Structure 1
Amino acid sequence: MKQVNEVPKSVLNQLAEVAQQQQESLEALVAFYSQERLLVRLAASSYEDQYWLYGEFLLGTLTNDIKSSSGITLCAKKMVNKESIIKHAFKEISTVKVAEDGVAFVSDEIEVSSSGEEEVQIRIPAQIGHITTYIEIAITLFNSASMAPRKIATASLLNSSSTELLAYPTELIIAHKFNTIYQYPTLEETLKDYYAIYLLASTQNFEGRVLQEAILDTFERHKTTIEKNPPVFSKRFDLDDSKNKAWQQLLTQQVSFAKVQKLVHQFLWPIYNQIEVEDEFFENWDYTCGNWR
């Protein structure tokens, strides 16, 4: 058995091998591994039901489309004195005892700041041997969610066992993004929403009735009007040079916007059509063939 002080060196050696295989920088993989190990501590803590995976990190985890340099995105219910409460929580999370993994979090140097009422940023120093990295966490605060969180498994970089964490409901993610492209179908800022829906529709199965309820709830919360043949479905949008450049920067895999738009339409139109005629939708989405059944 290795002595504890040998573990960081062993971990760095393993990360260096993976970096060479994946043609990634060692620094990027150290950051990603440190994120992973912080989530292991979250799952083992008393806070595991208070902070859910959310946003880009959740999307990447679900679709295996995550970038190693991205930070962690979580969500939590709104709270008073949010900065002090969250800082205290993550000081405790970062010191939770788990199987030795070579990572030491510097809990006394955690930094917390706010962006308005609904977002808090955290910066946590992490050390693996002689390398120090900084974990960036963005926490979105919400009043309530109309659906319960789901447990999902997060992958491990060095083939450790996966970690199960609570995650914001996938159906609500799609509903929020659908509401955005429904209202602003041609804006450059919504390209990322088209792509997110495409990634989920091409990697996940869905129950149509559950997704329909999520969409109805989201439209109601945003006071979105149900229209007949809305532009998001009735028109095809070509990307001009500016939007095409933004699209290429967004992608982690090469896929045309036309292909993305086509799958998004196949995925959402049948549900929207039933909403329009005030009927229920009971089919199930099979991502392997890209159809409702």
Structure 2
Amino acid sequence: MRGSVHSKGSLLLTAWRAPVARPTMDIDLAGKTNNELEDIRSLVGEVCEFATEPDGIEFTAASIEVQRIKEDAEYEGVRVRFNGALAKARIPMQIDIGFEDVIVPRPVEIEYPAMLEFPPPVLMAYPKETVVAEKLEALTVLGLLNSRIKDYYDLALLARLYPFDGNLLAEAIRSTFRHRGTAIDATPVGLTEAFSADPARAVQWRAFVRRSRFESESGLDLDLDEIVAQVRRFASAPLSATAREDAFDLKWRLGGPWA
């Protein structure tokens, strides 16, 4: 399965050793195979039956259910549900697989941290640049209607913890927006005060923080306007440069600024 899918989504924050990873209810993957339901069922079934170190968890291939998601969207995906078990505890699993997206600069090999003293699994995954580019494209398209509050958390965390090469990030932005048919906006509504001041979004953000149980020491239990300001500080320069079709030769060091 390793060459057939690439890991993406919030689970990558754990792989990148982020000290404060948000909880998630599913596994997000990018499919590099065809999206026929029976082929996906077979692929996940092989993983369920793959022999690993005896960690006590069992996955039941016979329980696999597959269905299409985003039926009317340009980029159709597949949702897979199946059951796991640890002793008498039932563990419902969900995998969402998207298709057709571009990955810039290229997929990277990661070691996913193991909870027990077993060798870490080695996976192919999105680079950080594509993660950022896809989230910026989503907040550009959705504007004031954006309810993907978790994306703002992810972007703020990425900006705080990791360095970025401006040229690589700009290329990921250009490629992602072009592939999805989205015009690059130097100042998308989703990064303005009009968005962060919206009462409905503020309520969603507070609910997200409460569910996620962030510690005050993490610096991420801020008001939405502060989080949006952090993301704007990180994203405005590369968005502006790519919107003008200019080169972006700057570097982002931990916490910024671009220099």
Q: After superposition, give the CA deviation of every residue in 1:17-44 in whole Å (9 maximum; x if it has no partner).
A: xxxxxxxxxxxxxxxxxxxxxxxxxxxx
Task: Measure the CA separation in 1 of the matches of 2:154 and 2:112.
Answer: 18
Does the 8 Å contact 1:58/1:73 carry over to 2? no
Does the 8 Å contact 2:105/2:168 carry over to 1? no
Please tell me the residue identity of whatever aligns with 1:104: E
Aligned length: 244
Structure 1 residue ranges without an equivalent (≥5): 1-46
Give 1:164 shift.
Answer: 2.3
Q: After superposition, give the CA deviation of every residue in 1:193-212 in whole Å (9 maximum; x if it has no partner).
A: 32221122122221110000
Task: Measure the CA separation in 2 of the matches of 1:198 and 1:94.
Answer: 35
Distance 1:136 1:172, change over 3 A: same
**Partner residue, 1:270:** 237
- TM-score, with structure 1 as normaliser: 0.72
Distance 1:279 1:66, change over 3 A: same
Distance 1:218 1:110, change over 3 A: closer
Does residue 1:284 correspond to 2:251, yes or no?
yes
Larger Cα-atom Rg: 1
Does the 8 Å contact 1:78/1:143 carry over to 2? no
Moved more, 247-256 or 270-279: 270-279
**Partner residue, 2:54:** 100
Equivalent residue for 1:77, pick from 5, 23, 32: 32
Does residue 1:219 correspond to 2:177, yes or no?
yes
Does the 8 Å contact 2:102/2:179 carry over to 1? no
**Partner residue, 1:66:** 22
Task: Measure the CA separation in 2 of the matches of 1:100 and 1:61.
Answer: 22
Does the 8 Å contact 2:140/2:185 carry over to 1? no
Please tell me the residue identity of whatever aligns with 2:231: V
SS at match of 1:66: coil
Distance 1:101 1:144, change over 3 A: same
Please tell me the residue identity of whatever aligns with 1:66: R
Q: Percent identity?
A: 24
**Partner residue, 2:87:** 129
Distance 1:232 1:75, change over 3 A: closer
Does the 8 Å contact 1:184/1:190 carry over to 2? no
Give 1:133 shift.
Answer: 1.9
- TM-score, with structure 2 as normaliser: 0.81
Equivalent residue for 2:65, pick from 91, 108, 111: 111
Structure 2 residue ranges without an equivalent (≥5): 215-220
